[in-house]
Amino acid sequence: MKFLLLLPLAVLLISGCGTSEPVDSDDTSGITTENTGDTTEEEAYTLPLADSYLTITDSIGVELGDSNFVFGVIIEACFTPAGDIAILDGQKANVAMFTPAGEFIRTIGRDGSGPGEFLLPAGMAFRPEGGLVVADGMGLKLVYFDENYDLVSEALGFVPSPPAQLVAIEGMEIIGMKPDFEQGEDGMFMGFTVAKWEMDNSIPTVVYYSQMSPFNPADLSSMANDVAVFAAADDGRVFTSQMSTEEYSYTAWTPEGEEIFTYVNEDYQRVEKTQSEMDLEAEMVNARIIAQGMPPSMANWEPDTYRAAISRMAIDGLDRLWVTKGEAGTATFDVFDLDGNLLFTAAIDAGEAAEKWDVIISGENFVSYDMNPEDYPRVFYGALPGFE
């Protein structure tokens, strides 16, 4: 059934930061920081302590008006190597391109099952040498465009889906996280793999991470324990972690898949989710699962009561590894060099609304957006420390 193929994509919703629901800071009734042993009570918003702060300089998106600036469902956003801004829209099934000043340039792709078209775009990456790769979750393919964004080729045959999160590296290769499943005598297993793929090939050449668990339709949330987090440098070095609520650690790999080192934060302490986080996560994931064809009676996602230690990783234009920490309600980061040395900590300074934002490190900049906005979708952006 279709939902079995697309179910892992819905699980990836929890890998973003947009699952926290802020409370009214003027209403202190019932607010406490006491650990109850079940789920923490709601906390008033406070700006996390950090060595450096990310500040918004501009945004793209309107509620009404020019259709080029009205977005449907923002799946991903990033800066291109040339400095433009790309926004992947799941509802419009295209990539919209804008200048750094927010001026519309063009769109790439469209809804459909033909060459260069997307049925369910799930991720994108811009190649260092120029060009774009888009993952079509329902089309089971990766779509390659050249530096002029003309269609070059399509890699077909990805089951149950292509890599849903992508990083393009030098040499026309990509690193990605791919949902997987196996059917054997012992039943069905589902999980996630981080691997390297050559252009036009659905068979990975190097596997850096793979975790599979028995598929239990009565306990869909057990899949969350297998979700991988990764980052990749242009030269092919890969960093992987797991969305663990127990341990803060990541591993560095050579391009060929040999382990370089593993970093472990011995001081990590688990943090419980608030009840509103739990409720919003369950609502978002179950709604996505149902939208992909699962009977409502089987949509039983129950969030883990603890926040993940690491929820995202990325490498910026200065070869700094940004590790998004999951224990804070708003996006906070540990920033390392590629040898595992902590350089500084950072947080986004955008007020209470930022507790619901997904923040993506992209080259010299960051982009952020609310995956479930109360008003209308838009993308905020600004420069990273060291590039202002």
CA angle (221, 223, 224) in 5-degree steps = 75
DSSP codes of every residue in 202-218: SS-SEEEEEEEEE--TT
Domain range list for the chain: 2-383
Closest-CA residue to 229 (of 129, 321, 146): 321
- 250 in helix, strand or coil? strand
- pLDDT by residue (tens digit) across 301-348? 777 788 889 989 999 999 999 999 987 778 899 999 999 999 999 999
- pLDDT by residue (tens digit) across 164-206? 899 999 888 999 999 888 887 888 888 899 999 999 899 999 9
Q: What CA–CA distances, in Å, run from 138 to 94, 113, 159, 206, 270?
A: 14, 9, 10, 24, 36
Residues above pLDDT 90, as percent of the chain = 58
**101, burial (CB in 10 Å: exposed 0-12, middle 13-18, buried 19+):** exposed
- pLDDT by residue (tens digit) across 9-45? 655 655 554 443 333 333 323 323 333 444 445 567 7
CA 29, chain centre distance (Å):
34
Predicted local confidence at residue 152, as pLDDT: 95
Token pair in block for residue 105: 């340039």
**pTM for this one?**
0.87
Beta-carbon contacts of 386 under 8 Å, excluding residues fewer than 6 positions away, are: 318, 320
Closest-CA residue to 241 (of 169, 158, 325): 325
CA 189, chain centre distance (Å):
23
DSSP codes of every residue in 116-128: T-BSSEEEEEE-T
- 177 in helix, strand or coil? strand
CA angle (192, 197, 199) in 5-degree steps = 140
Across the range 232-257, mean pLDDT stands at 95
Can you tell me the distance from the alpha carbon of 74 to that of 88, in angstroms, rounded to the nearest whole number?
6
Residue labelled with tokens 């980061």: 333
Predicted local confidence at residue 34, as pLDDT: 37
- 67 in helix, strand or coil? helix
Q: Are 41 and 34 in contact (CB under 8 A)?
A: yes
CA 265, chain centre distance (Å):
22
Predicted local confidence at residue 222, as pLDDT: 67
Across the range 370-379, mean pLDDT stands at 89
Closest-CA residue to 272 (of 48, 44, 35): 35
- CA 292, 308, 316, 194 dihedral sign is negative
- 151 in helix, strand or coil? strand
Phi and psi torsions of 31, nearest 5°: -90, 130
**107, burial (CB in 10 Å: exposed 0-12, middle 13-18, buried 19+):** middle
CATH of 2-383, one of 1.10.287.10, 3.60.21.10, 3.40.50.10800, 2.120.10.30: 2.120.10.30
Predicted local confidence at residue 35, as pLDDT: 38
Q: Are 86 and 97 in contact (CB under 8 A)?
A: yes
Predicted local confidence at residue 19, as pLDDT: 42
Q: How does residue 369 score in pLDDT terms, banded at 50, 70 and 90? A: very high
Can you tell me the distance from the alpha carbon of 98 to that of 101, in angstroms, rounded to the nearest whole number?
8
